[in-house]
Amino acid sequence: MMAKEISEEEMYQDLMEKIHVNNSNYMEFIDDIATQITIQRFGEDTYAPSSEVGQEHVMMFQEDAQDFYNEQYDWVETMLNRTLKVYSDEQ
């Protein structure tokens, strides 16, 4: 059996196809990177105790850090999609 010849255009199209990964892994990867960027930016001012009654022992992002994290999460996800063509299996 002879191997099928693949044109350069077909090889390019194959490379441009989306890669879908498990949604949980996808979100965890983006979260890890966005969290590290946020911690680097805010340092020890990243976290504060929860303001919810009975949840004071739970540490959460401070408001500014949360807003920054949300922006970084979106940025990392966009870069992952555009640059590497990696998407959640739920997209």
pLDDT, tens digit, 9 for 90 and up, residues 23-36: 999 999 999 999 99
pTM above 0.85, yes or no: no
What burial class does residue 8 get, using C-beta atoms within 10 Å of its C-beta: 0-12 exposed, 13-18 middle, 19+ buried? Answer: exposed
At 1 the pLDDT is 54
| Per-residue pLDDT band at 68 (split at 50, 70, 90) | very high
pLDDT digits (tens, 9 = 90+) for 2-48: 566 767 776 666 556 899 999 999 999 999 999 999 999 999 999 99
Calpha distance 51→15 (Å, rounded): 48
Mean pLDDT of the region 64-90: 96
H or E stretch covering 20: strand 19-21
